[in-house]
Structure 1
Amino acid sequence: MNVRERGLLQQSLAWDEAIVSNDVSRIRSFMTEDWICVATHGGTTNVDSFLDQIAQGELTHTEMSAEESQVRIYNEAGIVIGKGYSKGTFRGKQFSFYEWSVSVFILKDDSWKCVLTMLADA
């Protein structure tokens, strides 16, 4: 893995830590204003809905792990493919997903920002 790829991977792992902190401002700093997530069950969530759920306590994360990670960079875009656990609660019910995640990042103002995340059962 080269220096740019390691930098993107570190940014992705720092975003995982921010998600586990459940700190909306901190999480938001890793995302573009038009970020979207395609969830394991097939639904989609946009940045505002995702952050509102966290801010209202409907969604909390207690773990985001990355057991495997692959990174690809294409000029000003990068992809992080990972496999691991996402655990927490959603609307009062605990969840634990072992899943693949694919996140697409763009280099914006010298920082990697996520524009898309897609999740699938591992």
Structure 2
Amino acid sequence: MTDEEHDLTTELEVVEADWGRAIVDNDADAIGRFTTDDWQIVGEDGITSRETFLALVRSGDLTHETMSKITGSVRGLGDVAVLTGRGTTTGRYRGQAFSSDEWVTDVFVRGADGWRCAHTHLTTARDGS
């Protein structure tokens, strides 16, 4: 890994850790500061817009209790970076407890205000993966 790749990985891991804390704090405004206005999250139930995700957090229908992530790889492409890793999350969705173990791909764009996530894709991890 070059120094530049190491620096980018470190920088994005800090952003991801801060974003994760905002999610565990269930702070919709803080969460929103880590995403672009058109951010989408893709999971097993389809595509969720930024507005829908933040509305669920604001209403209390979606809460997070824990979140962790281990970075697998970071690929820098100028002002775009792709971070892939494995994450676990616990929380509640509309009163039902959930626990997830997923491969996570986040696409970040660098702007005047730093790195913000433009797209997140989640894939359920299988045992032994």
Q: Which band: TM-score by shorter chain? A: over 0.9
Partner of 1:46: 49
User: Structure 1: 5+ residue runs without aligned partners?
Assistant: none
Give the Cα separation in 2 of the matches to 1:20 and 1:81.
20
Report whether the alignment pairs 1:56 with 2:59.
yes
Q: Report which of the two structures shows the higher radius of gyration computed on alpha carbons.
A: 2
Moved over 6 A (4+): none
Aligned mate of 2:32, from 16, 28, 35: 28
Give the Cα separation in 2 of the matches to 1:68 and 1:11.
12
For residues 10-63 of structure 1, give each alpha carbon's deviation from its aligned partner in whole angstroms, at most 9, with x where no partner exists: 111211111111011111100000000101x14110000000000000000011
RMSD: 1.2
Give the Cα separation in 2 of the matches to 1:110 and 1:75.
16
Give the Cα separation in 2 of the matches to 1:18 and 1:69.
22
Give the Cα separation in 1 of the matches to 2:27 and 2:9.
26
Partner of 1:103: 106
Report whether the alignment pairs 1:73 with 2:76.
yes
User: Structure 2: 5+ residue runs without aligned partners?
Assistant: none
Give the Cα separation in 2 of the matches to 1:110 and 1:2.
21
TM-score, scaled to structure 1:
0.93
TM-score, scaled to structure 2:
0.89
Partner of 1:11: 15
8 Å Cα contact 1:12/1:80 also seen in 2? no
8 Å Cα contact 1:9/1:71 also seen in 2? no
Q: Report the 3-state secondary structure (helix = DSSP H, G, I; strand = E; otherwise coil) of the residue aligned with 1:22.
A: coil
Identity percentage over the alignment? Answer: 35
Give the Cα separation in 2 of the matches to 1:3 and 1:98.
27
For 2:115, the aligned partner's letter is W
